A and B are shown apart, each in its own frame.
Chain A
Amino acid sequence: MRRMSWLRRVMISLAGLALAGCAGAPSMLRPASSVSAREAWLFWVVLAMAAVVFVLVEGLIVLIVARDRRRGDEAGEPTQVHGHTRLEIIWTVVPLLLVILLFGLTIGTMRAVAAPEPREGDINVRVVGHRWWWQFDYPDYGFTTANELHIPLGSAAHLTLESADVIHSFWVPQLAGKTDLIPGAINSMWLSADAPGTYDGQCSEFCGIQHAGMRIHVIVESREDFEAWVSTQQAPPVEAATALAQQGEDMVLTGVCSSCHSVRGTSAEGKVGPDLTHLMSRSTMAGGMYPLNGAYLRRWLANTQEMKPGNLMVVRLAPDDMAAVLAYLTQLK
């Protein structure tokens, strides 16, 4: 009895330890969608089956070693057993049955998580992977944004996945398994969520020097909040109100910035970096690595390579230009 309770205490504290790491983790075991829930359920089933095999094999090892090591010094040889046909058939057939069962569960789950027919209210998003940020186009609403994907609660988001350069992979564990973005091909996947919130993910196919700096935030919000966000994004960019901002606008729209960045409805139509039309409506920057605010933006523009080494923006803004560009960018709400 005492041994049981000791064992139980250890098990509980181990489970607690594992789960303690879980809070805040973008974990497939904290599913927030029907798809992830099915995948998590299947994982637990597989784990339970694996646990049985694990306990059987490791238990046999411990049993055999504990028992038969004492025979190590005995005189004479143990019985020379060369095989046992029935046993060998059993341990071929039983695993075979187990994997057939697993295969059935695989088929069932793949069907269950397949994309549903589009319904009223569903949204379409074109996802383009870039080194090292995400482009999200909302073709039905006519705008584009970056790194933060907004979807309305209760509807499905149908994503088409493309790449501008190398292979990337879109993965938000709490919402769905991953799908690759492959240059020259168009993949698709779908997302939905059970509850509002921000769900984290990141690129999960190695894509070069800043693979780690290509993070995803999916913001699931009520239909009203989503519609409000859509109208913000659809609005034309805020025009410069001060002289300083005006000066910054000229620099951004006609200077080097515009060769990579776009501001909708202006001459800045670059496609290499994220769209800046409503930059400040986003909460993160640099592929989701940093919070987006004036201070980080200043640091970024002073030396992007210090914050995200190897990224493709090699511009370093002179101190004289900084104030003007910052004044313009920070009002692009």
Chain B
Amino acid sequence: MTADAHALTHPRPTPASPERPGLLGWLSTVDHKRIGLMYLGTGLLFFLLGGLEALLIRLQLARPGATLLGPDIYNQIFTMHGTTMIFLGVMPLAAGFGNYLIPLMLGARDVAFPKLNALSYWVFLFAGLLMNSSFVFGGAPSTGWFAYAPLTERAFSPGTGVDFWILGVLLLGLSTTIGSINFIVTILQLRAPGMSLNRMPMFAWTMLVTSMIAVFALPSLTVAILLLLLDRQLGTHFYNVAQGGDALLWQHLFWFFGHPEVYILILPAMGMVSEIIPVFSRKPLFGYRVVAYSSVAIGFLGFTVWAHHMFSTGLPSAALLVFSADSFLIGVPTGVKVFSWLATMWRGRLRLTTAMLFAIGFIALFVIGGLGGVSLAVVPVDWQLTDTYYVVSHFHYVLFGGSVFAILGAAYYWFPKMTGRRLGERLGTLHFWLTFVGMNLVFMPMHILGLLGMPRRIYTYAAGKGWEGWNMVATIGAFVVALSMLVFVVNLIRSLRRPPTHEADPWDANTLEWTTASPPLAYNFAEIPTVRSARPYWDAKHPDLADWKARR
């Protein structure tokens, strides 16, 4: 056994953490693992808050003509639900896993800029609290997460809600930009010896692409909301049509960010799934390079499809066709990934742990979301279905069935590394099935509701349009999902109360983070290993079957 392999297979025990004790230690930390955990904890709380908002939405829509929430409150709730889930839930959760795992996966001792990393977290936390404080300071924004001008102009939204939203999103953009630059530099500069880009764990690939997308997409959003802020506070007329502004300018600027944002939300999830599936299939990721490069392709193509959110705005046919074609194209690298995951599982030795169940659930549900997306790239179909519940269903299959399922799978998979304890598998299996059944109960009927003519963002609807039954089913499903999240929280608390077992490698996994202690030492690795393939730990454990010996 080589020295490297010895280091890989014989992790050292945990010494005492050099961090300051107690709360001060957390407040002052610049350790990527602690910041990762803070991101994860905060993200989970905001995610649960967004979930409560979803329950209120579903209660209001369960029956026609309900009066539980007035239109004003309802509009605030759905705006904050979307904003929270995207900016304060899924993105921070992905950033949390990225923070915790990327240096460990790369064989690094920390991210490139630990202090910036802490800044990124604290700005995010402040922005989240600032935005949500609008509920008590004169009302939350009620213009939707895409905040279309000129509705967001002062003439039509005179309250302060939109201003809170602008400031919050500006700060979140700052936080994400800092975090993304940190990830990019870390991934490009701090890899272990021998770890070429094509030997990185797939999660590192997707975080690299995600961070690149964020850095290039966010300026467009920043400009858009700064112009809006100027309009609202200084009386400029960028979007103010009466004074010669342009209402559609907002949509172009916003969606130039907004569509890449979709890939910011889904690519890390794809990376997580690409880590989990090979481990529990006991095979390498099928077509590693194709999966990696398809992420890059998605990253580029993601910038060329923004106007497919604008098919009904009266753009000329030639423009519609260009954006339609690009939107179709983006389905190809996405499909490649799905088939690669299936091929990874094919004739593997499957272990259906909770993490694996969520990863498989991800594939099953993401495919539905992807197919829905392809149908919306068909311009005449989109003319009918855009801004209906069909779209709501489509992007929830991607964001909930996709991103959230992957994040939950990642939670089960990496929890032992972070805490030295496994999450309960029996509760986990229950959690998975409740979430799986519940999410389909919520979102499959929404496809039908869209086809039956129900627009999005309506606080009430009349009886007799055939919408009542499906809305009721969706509401029941929402409570099943809520129950599943309760099971998850119980599982988290119960597992954290158990004494740690400190298993370094509970899943017999492939990547470097499993070669060190659980939880890892402050400095991550006693010795930085040399890497010869994308599965360094596998290579160490299976010298005869080592990846670097394989033909491909």
Contact = CB atoms under 8 A, between A and B. Distances in A.
Interface of A: 18, 20-29, 36, 38-40, 42-43, 46-47, 50, 53-54, 57-58, 60-61, 64-65, 68-69, 71-72, 74, 77-84, 87-88, 91-92, 95-96, 99-100, 102-103, 105-107, 109-110, 113-114, 131, 161, 165-167, 169, 171, 173, 176-180, 182-185, 187-188, 200-213, 215, 289, 309-310
B319 interface: no
B386 to A, nearest CB: 7
Contacts of A39: 380-381, 383-384
17 contacts: A58-B364, A61-B342, A72-B350, A77-B282, A78-B282, A84-B286, A84-B287, A88-B290, A92-B332, A103-B325, A106-B378, A169-B387, A177-B383, A187-B314, A209-B71, A209-B75, A213-B71
B346 A179 contact: no
A125 to B, nearest CB: 17
Interface string B495-518: 000000000000000000000000
A77 B379 CA distance: 48
Given A26-B453, A165-B156, A205 B349 contact: no
B283 A80 contact: yes
Nearest to A184: B241
B464 interface: yes
B375 interface: yes
A171 B314 contact: no
Interface of B: 70-72, 75, 142-144, 148, 150-151, 155-157, 241-242, 245-248, 281-284, 286-290, 312-314, 317, 320-321, 324-325, 328-329, 331-332, 335-336, 338-340, 342-343, 345-352, 360, 363-364, 367-368, 371-372, 374-375, 377-388, 448, 451-453, 455-462, 464-467, 469-470, 542, 545, 547, 550-552
A27 B375 contact: no
B336 A211 contact: no
A89 to B, nearest CB: 10
A6 B382 CA distance: 36
A249 B265 CA distance: 60
B380 to A, nearest CB: 5
B156 A208 contact: yes
B380 A42 contact: yes
Contact of B343 (A74, A87, A109, A177): A87
Contacts of B542: 77
B328 A103 contact: yes
A39 B363 CA distance: 29
Q: Which 9 pairs show the lowest CB-CB distances between chains A and B? A: A177-B383, A212-B458, A184-B241, A26-B453, A21-B466, A99-B328, A25-B466, A187-B314, A25-B452
Contacts of B383: 39, 176-179
Given A81-B283, A167-B150, A24 B375 contact: no
Nearest to B542: A77
Contact of A84 (B343, B371, B458, B545): B343
A183 B343 contact: no
A205 B314 CA distance: 13
Nearest to A61: B364
Contacts of A95: 331-332, 335-336
Contacts of B247: 167, 182-185
B317 A54 contact: no
B387 A46 contact: no
Contacts of B351: 69, 72
Given A47-B375, A184-B241, A204 B455 contact: yes
Given A103-B324, A183-B247, A206-B148, A22 B466 contact: yes
A105 B377 CA distance: 12
A200 B465 CA distance: 9
B301 to A, nearest CB: 12
B504 to A, nearest CB: 20
Given A102-B328, A103-B325, A167-B150, A43 B460 contact: no
Contacts of A18: 448
A178 B246 CA distance: 21
B378 A46 contact: yes
Contacts of A165: 150, 155-156
Contacts of A289: 462
Given A22-B452, A178-B387, A184-B246, A57 B342 contact: yes
Contacts of A182: 247-248, 313-314
Contacts of A211: 75, 455, 457-459
Given A64-B350, A80-B550, A24 B378 contact: no
Contacts, number: 298
A103 B374 CA distance: 10
A23 B247 CA distance: 38
Nearest to B345: A64
Contact of B371 (A20, A50, A114): A50
Nearest to B313: A180
B119 to A, nearest CB: 35
A103 B386 CA distance: 18
Contact of A166 (B150, B347, B453): B150
Contacts of A180: 312-314
Given A38-B380, A110-B379, A173-B384, A99 B331 contact: yes
A93 B245 CA distance: 45
A22 to B, nearest CB: 6
Contact of B352 (A53, A65, A176, A215): A65
B287 to A, nearest CB: 4
Nearest to A206: B457
A181 B346 CA distance: 51
B352 A179 contact: no
Contacts of B284: 80-82
Given A46-B375, A64-B342, A96-B332, 17 more contacts: A21-B448, A25-B453, A25-B466, A27-B451, A29-B452, A42-B380, A80-B545, A82-B552, A87-B339, A99-B328, A167-B148, A167-B247, A179-B383, A182-B248, A183-B247, A185-B314, A211-B455
Contacts of A113: 380
Nearest to A51: B371
Contact of B321 (A21, A24, A107, A114): A107
Nearest to B148: A167
Contacts of B381: 39, 42-43, 46
B96 to A, nearest CB: 28
Contact of A206 (B151, B289, B325, B360): B151
Contacts of A69: 350-352
Contacts of A87: 339, 343
A100 to B, nearest CB: 8
B386 A178 contact: yes
B246 to A, nearest CB: 7
A211 B143 CA distance: 11
A295 B249 CA distance: 45
Contact of A171 (B144, B350, B455, B545): B455
Contacts of B464: 24
Contacts of A38: 380
A16 B464 CA distance: 17
Given A54-B371, A110-B317, A185-B248, A178 B343 contact: no
B154 to A, nearest CB: 12
Contacts of A110: 317, 320-321, 379-380
B465 A26 contact: yes
A211 B460 CA distance: 10
Contacts of A83: 286-290, 552
B367 to A, nearest CB: 5
Nearest to A79: B347
Nearest to A87: B343
